[in-house]
Amino acid sequence: MILKKTIVMLGASVIAGSSLFVLPVANHTASAKSETINFWYGGDGDKDIKPIIKAFTKKTGIKVTIQSIPWSQYNDKLLTAAASKSGPDVLVVGTTEMPNMVSSKTVMNISKYVKKDKKISPSNFFEGSVNTTKYSGKYYALPWYVETRVLYYRKDLLKEVGYNQAPKTWSQLYKAALKLSKRGSNMYGFNVDASEPTFGFMFARQNGATLIKNGKAQFDKKPMVNAISYLHKFVKNGAAPKQDLKLTIGQSFGGNGKVPMFISGPWMMNSIETDSGLKNNQWGVAQLPAGKDGNTSNTGGGDIAVFNYTKKKAASIKLMKFLSTKSSQLAYYKNSDSMPTLKSAWTDKSLSDSKIQVFRNQLNNSEPMPLIKQWDEIGTNYLQAWQEIALKNSSVQKTMTSFTEQTNKLINK
């Protein structure tokens, strides 16, 4: 999950590396005895969420303190809070963290609220987002913001090698990337992301892979092995760099386009617009090229949950629901570029740009990574396995077999 924030101190007290703000009640009818709840927010500042919380206070009279905690510390602080049964009332949960949050009893089971209130019915949200809020058939959060991955490409450079539109299949992606890599020394066509833990798994799903089946990893099976072999072909034949080139977006995607195609999320839109030096008609975004089993992307983002040990359940439920409304999600998008999970919000004019709508269409075919407690560690281990393949030209089958055995030991701990 990625959420880029800037630090806003505005007279805040700094507590254990976190910024704590108490928002005043703007509703003149609220009494001095108004209830106060605590909201834990992952990021480096609260400027994007603060206006929305202020609107909640104005509407309900409920005061909210916002404790902004860097993502690098966030999950550990939540687990510590759960162990002590003392922490926030409402919290953000990363889309890969639900199994750990449930098993540690950090988050409250909200299934009865989801079933009773049509406004928060799962059918209102993108399916991929809803799947990140569930564990063992029960609901523990509401979808808040969402991101998925699409293909970024240089329209002008692709046209020069005979492509008037973005590649639509794996075959087209490879052929186009290979042609683009022939433009000269240190030129490539596509980036196989060596720093993104979900990258290989996303392609494996497009090739028909079931990642985890009956509690066992399937990474050594033909669908995933062939997907990783496909990605290795880019590196092996010079169509993709072997590792991160450590270039800015202006150096890699802008200018002569050393890497004119890559896969990423919506946060890259602003970087390209401000730092690449490209005109709007020189680049585009497209849904992912399809493998034999479609073009499934990865769902990320954040969910809103209630702390399992809160003593202010009613007020906490109110805030959770408020943040999941159309108006709140649109306001958060306008403040942060974090896309709404409510499907109805996507008719708003702020999301009408054709590039933005590509993400909306991709969200119809996007799923989160498997919701198991060990997934973050599995992702880290995948990156190490990929390095063996990309840098040392190790056997894909042997490497993935070893990775599978490593994963199953981890799952069975």
- The structure tokens listed for 113 are 């609220």
d(CA 332, CA 405): 42
pLDDT-based confidence at residue 14 (cuts at 50, 70, 90): very low
For the chain, the distance separating the N- and C-terminal CA atoms, rounded to the nearest angstrom, is 26
Residues 360-407: tens digit of each pLDDT: 999 999 999 999 999 999 999 999 999 999 999 999 999 999 999 999
Q: With beta carbons less than 8 A apart as the criterion, state whether 181 and 189 touch.
A: yes
Q: Over the stretch 154-171, which tens digit does the pLDDT of each residue have?
A: 999 999 999 999 999 999
Whole-angstrom Cα distance, residue 72 to residue 70? Answer: 5
Return d(Cα 319, Cα 90) in angstroms, integer.
8
Alpha-carbon span 109 to 308, nearest angstrom: 8
Give the pLDDT band of residue 17 (cuts 50, 70, 90): very low
At a CB cut-off of 8 Å and minimum separation 6, what does 186 contact? 258
Pick from 304, 308, 339: nearest CA to 318: 304
Q: Say whether pLDDT at 281 is over 70.
A: yes
The count of other CB atoms within 10 Å of the CB of residue 163 is: 17
3-state helix, strand, coil in the chain (%, to 5): 45, 20, 40
143 Cβ contact list (under 8 Å, min separation 6): 125, 126, 129, 130, 132, 133, 301, 303, 324, 341, 342
**Residue 412, CA distances (Å) to 100, 197, 404, 405 in order:** 16, 21, 12, 11
Q: Coil, helix or strand for 263?
A: strand
Per-residue pLDDT band for 1 (boundaries 50, 70, 90) equals very low
> What's the confidence (pLDDT) of residue 33?
53
Query: At residue 19, does pLDDT exceed 50?
Result: no
Q: Is the per-residue pLDDT at 18 higher than 80?
A: no
